[in-house]
Chain A
Amino acid sequence: MANVIRRRGIKARVGRGVLYAVLITAALFYALPLIVMLMTSFKPLSEITAGSLLSLPQDPTLAPWAKAWGEACTGMRCEGVGGYFWNSFAIVIPAVLISTAIGALNGYALTKWRFKGSELVFALMLFGCFIPFQVVLLPMAQTLGWLGLSSSRSGLVLVHVVFGIAFTTLFFRNFYVGIPDELVSAAKLDGAGFFRIFWRILLPVSAPIIVVSIIWQFTQIWNDFLFGVAFSGHSTQPVTVALNNLVNTSTGVSEYNVNMAAAMIAALPTLLVYVLAGKYFVRGLTAGSVKG
Chain B
Amino acid sequence: MSDTTSPVFRRPTASGWLQAWLPRLVLAPSVAIILFFVYGFMLWTFVLSLTSSRMLPSYDFVGFGQYARLMANDRWWVASTNLMIFGALFVLICLVLGAVLAILLDQKIRQEGALRTIYLYPMALSFIVTGVVWKWLLNPQLGIQAMVRSWGFESFRFDWIVDPNMAIYTLVIAAVWQASGFVMALFLAGLRGIDDSIIKAAQLDGASLARIYWRVVMPCLRPVVFSAVMILSHIAIKSFDLVVALTGGGPGYATDLPATFMYTHAFNRAQIGLGSASAMLMLGGVLAILIPYLYSELRSRKHG
A interface residue numbers (CB < 8 A to B) = 1-5, 19-20, 22-23, 26-27, 29-31, 33-34, 36-37, 40, 48-49, 52-54, 102, 105-106, 109-110, 113, 115, 118, 121, 123-128, 130-140, 142-143, 162-163, 165-166, 169, 188-191, 193-195, 219, 222-226, 229-230, 240, 243-244, 247-248, 256, 259-260, 262-263, 266-267, 270-271, 273-275, 278, 281-282, 285-286, 288-291
Contacts and interface: CB of A to CB of B under 8 A. Distances in A.
B125 interface: yes
Contacts of B30: 102, 106, 125, 165, 169
Interface of B: 1, 3, 6-7, 19, 22-24, 26-27, 29-31, 33-35, 37-42, 44-45, 48, 57, 97, 101, 104-109, 115, 117-129, 132-137, 142-144, 146-147, 150, 177, 181-182, 185-186, 189-192, 194, 196, 199, 203, 209, 212, 217, 223-224, 227-228, 230-231, 234, 237-238, 240-241, 244-245, 248, 258-259, 262-263, 266-267, 272, 275-276, 278-280, 282-283, 285-286, 290, 294, 297-298, 300-301
A238 to B, nearest CB: 10
Nearest to B234: A130
B23 to A, nearest CB: 4
A117 to B, nearest CB: 9
Contact of A138 (B48, B107, B136): B48
Contacts of B108: 2-3, 5
Contacts of A278: 117, 120
Main SS class of interface, A: helix
A194 B15 CA distance: 12
A219 B121 contact: no
B121 A30 contact: yes
Given A1-B196, A2-B108, A30 B189 contact: no
A224 to B, nearest CB: 8
Nearest to A256: B136
A266 B34 contact: no
Given A19-B107, A22-B104, A128-B34, A289 B142 contact: no
A7 B129 CA distance: 45
